[in-house]
Structure 1
Amino acid sequence: MLATILLLLALAKPICPSSAGAGSRRAEALKRLLEVFGMEDPPPPPAHVKQPPQYMVDLFNTVANADGVTKNPDILEGNTVRSFLDKTHGEKMRFLFMLSSVAKSEKILTAELHLFRLWPRLTEGPKRHHFCQVTIYQVLESEPEAPGGKKLLAARLVPLQGSGWEVFAITQAVRDWTEDESSNQGLLVTVQSVDGSPLDPPPLQFASSMDHHDSKKPMLVLFTDDGRRGASLPMADFSDVQPRAPVAPAQLSVPRLGAPRSARSLDRLQPCQKHPLSVDFEEIGWAGWIISPRGYNAYHCKGSCPFPLGENMRPTNHATVQSIINALKLSQGVSSPCCVPDKLYSINLLYFDDDENVVLKQYDDMVAGSCGCH
């Protein structure tokens, strides 16, 4: 994976713009990089300046550090979180979310309806109730009040005082919609008294998609898994992502004075260790649709694995045997072990998809945590 990224970065900016085929090589490199991120084409930047839902920004900051590297792998059940804003522009208690961007192969783990509860209306007379019952229905027919026109999804008591987000689980409805897109007739929300009697006008209201700021609009949040998983290399403490301390000069073999050394031969004198490798999404041309991070440090492994391999080289038993065979010339064509990542970390991208929905996606094996001789 990291070797692929190294190649892609080398090709991202043509060294000689006039060289024949430089443009096609760049296009091919970016196409391969998109494949790493599970895409065929880059999503177009939003037509207008859009702010991502604060919930998605907060979730990204909880899961990842500023560079997108996963700091808490146990937060997400799957590897993808999708947010959808309500597409209805009329009825305040009917909601519709378009899920065309969800792939058929994507497994729906959890689906949540997020509604922002407004401050209650001032009503005349004494307040008899401190709570009301909010019920969420899956709409099955165009007329939900008809017999069989709706299906109960969730119900609970909600306090009348205060404001803030209320979250309702509606997983089964979303699974139905992704299996049969034509069945998506939306959701219906009702507000009743504690005893189930109607309230007119209802003392509790939720922000609508038309009358309120984007930060309070009704939102559907899906936690899914697309089945993409990386190599099962061992994980370690997050602190391992930090660069290692420079190797002390005493650990290096010093050549005789006057002996010419090429850059490659000098590299061979350096022991296997981790080096920076910056991936800048703005330079690649992806800053328009990626919200966070603006780039990240993938790191790469470089250096020699000389005989005898010490513990600081983090060798495998196989690498130790290979090193011995190579040093003693016991077999033809056996090279010395290679300096490669032995711990890999995932990164997270927060971005706008083709439909301008905000997605948080986790990608495995994107950052070298440490290097060893294998």
Structure 2
Amino acid sequence: MMLPGFHLCSASTILPDNLEDDLDKYVRECAHDTNVNRRYHCVLKKRKLAEMKQGLTYALGIRSGPRRNISISQAHLKQLLLREGFTEDGQYVDGHVHQGDAFILPVQQNPYFFPENEFRTYVDIRNPHGNKIKEAVLNFYVSGITPKHGVAKYQVNLYRFIDDEEIDLEPFESYKRVKETWKSDFWDTIEITDLVKDWDREPSKNYGMMIKIETNGVPKQEEIDPIERESEEMAMYLQVRTFPLAARPRRLVGGNANCTDTMNPDEAGCCLYDFAVDFNSFGWYWVLAPKAYNAYYCTGMCKTGPGHGSTHYDMFVDFLKQRKRCCTPHHLQSMKVIYLDNSDTIQIRDIEQMAVSNCMCV
């Protein structure tokens, strides 16, 4: 889906009346700037921001107001952000982003609706978008394995419950781990894609699973179970991807903006400008990452005749509503967004056309 607001000079023909009516308000809000060119760009940015907000809420399917009820701990969230190419606080790392759709599901230990078993791990498989599952990774916290010479060696075994009480005696997955670490507590992951696909196809067969760790070939005793099952901060969670993983990260925008908002748009011609979007600044705390990004925008005259522009308002209205040629994005790029949906589930979506790369006259 294309988000409105990037094709500014033609967008006014399809915008709701409330956005058209806001033009005068934007002009009043920008009137404090004594530089006519900055006032012009101030109005454009306010208009563009309103369009972007409306388009993004529609693209993400957000129907309710801002929420802060995150289903996983802050420790889990930081780990997720780092793995998805962001910093711990949801910012970009060197301008690089990854693309893709995914969602996070909390894991229940010894759920009340099954006969009691303290080692039963259960995930309610919900596929919000109905997309084909490509990968499912279980994240769990290991505690109490003492490394020798900076190396921790252990084996992870996964067993499937075949009904309410009975468990398959043979593990369906078994992995030997050799982990370089000096710590006795650390996060680990294990892929359970096939199992999750089975549960997604036939939810009635989802009785949960059991994850056990062995060290030196001898199972750990129950009282020293090395897997953290009780802590809220270190609780297990499942990350499900519903897209082919991108082979490599790429730049959000290949270069810098060509022009600055102090330039006269008549003289600068069709040009690319910076446009910083800070989600927290307008109360969208449900956007977990990126907290902010540069969307860029295109504006400027396309040299179809004599220039216009007695006041910044006249120039703005003339540009948006009367020009026959339009300065518009030539290429737009998609962007990964991590957010809380209407049910407070963490979603990872790749939203198309979130940032402008370059401009052209059409």
TM norm structure 1: 0.63
**Equivalent residue in structure 2 for 1:275, among 273, 276, 282:** 273
Shift of residue 300, structure 1, vs aligned partner: 1.6
Residues 65 and 116 from structure 1, CA distance in 2 versus in 1: closer, same or farther, beyond 3 angstroms?
closer
Match of 1:207 in 2: 228
| 1:137-148 aligned within 5 A | 137-145=159-167
Shift of residue 31, structure 1, vs aligned partner: 5.9
Runs of 5+ unmatched residues, structure 1: 18-26, 122-129, 227-234, 250-265, 309-334
Residues 149 and 119 from structure 1, CA distance in 2 versus in 1: closer, same or farther, beyond 3 angstroms?
closer
Number of aligned positions between the proteins: 296
Q: Percent identity?
A: 20
Verify the 8 A CA contact 1:139 1:151 in the aligned structure 2: no
Residues 225 and 236 from structure 1, CA distance in 2 versus in 1: closer, same or farther, beyond 3 angstroms?
closer
- What residue identity is the alignment partner of 1:188? M
Superposed CA deviations along residues 194-248 of structure 1, whole A, max 9, x for unmatched, are 55x654347551111x2x241x21121122229xxxxxxxx99656353224599
Write the distance in 1 (CA, Å) between the matches of 2:227 and 2:65.
Answer: 32
Write the distance in 2 (CA, Å) between the matches of 1:368 and 1:29.
Answer: 13
- What residue identity is the alignment partner of 2:240? L
SS of the equivalent of 1:55 reads helix
Residues 55 and 81 from structure 1, CA distance in 2 versus in 1: closer, same or farther, beyond 3 angstroms?
farther
- What residue identity is the alignment partner of 1:102? P
SS of the equivalent of 2:134 reads strand
SS of the equivalent of 1:301 reads strand
Match of 1:304 in 2: 301
**Equivalent residue in structure 2 for 1:342, among 319, 322, 330:** 330
SS of the equivalent of 1:178 reads helix
Which is greater in Rg?
1
Residues 85 and 15 from structure 1, CA distance in 2 versus in 1: closer, same or farther, beyond 3 angstroms?
same
Match of 1:220 in 2: 238
Write the distance in 2 (CA, Å) between the matches of 1:12 and 1:219.
Answer: 45
| 1:1-374 aligned within 5 A | 1=2, 3-4=4-5, 11=19, 32-37=55-60, 39=61, 41-42=63-64, 45-47=67-69, 51=74, 53-62=77-86, 71-72=95-96, 75=98, 79-88=100-109, 91-104=117-130, 106-120=131-145, 131-145=153-167, 152-157=172-177, 162-192=184-214, 194-195=216-217, 198-201=219-222, 205-208=226-229, 210=230, 212-214=231-233, 216-225=234-243, 240-246=254-260, 267-282=265-280, 285-287=283-285, 289-306=286-303, 337-374=325-362
Verify the 8 A CA contact 2:139 2:190 in the aligned structure 1: yes
Write the distance in 2 (CA, Å) between the matches of 1:220 and 1:45.
Answer: 22
Superposed CA deviations along residues 304-358 of structure 1, whole A, max 9, x for unmatched, are 23379xxxxxxxxxxxxxxxxxxxxxxxxxx965322122222232222344333
Residues 298 and 55 from structure 1, CA distance in 2 versus in 1: closer, same or farther, beyond 3 angstroms?
same
Verify the 8 A CA contact 1:134 1:158 in the aligned structure 2: no
SS of the equivalent of 1:107 reads coil
SS of the equivalent of 1:57 reads helix
SS of the equivalent of 1:53 reads helix
Match of 1:326 in 2: none
Shift of residue 301, structure 1, vs aligned partner: 1.0
Give me the CA root mean square deviation.
4.4
Write the distance in 1 (CA, Å) between the matches of 2:21 and 2:283.
Answer: 11
Shift of residue 43, structure 1, vs aligned partner: 7.0
Verify the 8 A CA contact 1:338 1:373 in the aligned structure 2: yes
Shift of residue 36, structure 1, vs aligned partner: 2.3
Verify the 8 A CA contact 1:69 1:347 in the aligned structure 2: no
Shift of residue 176, structure 1, vs aligned partner: 1.5
Write the distance in 2 (CA, Å) between the matches of 1:247 and 1:347.
Answer: 25
SS of the equivalent of 2:82 reads helix
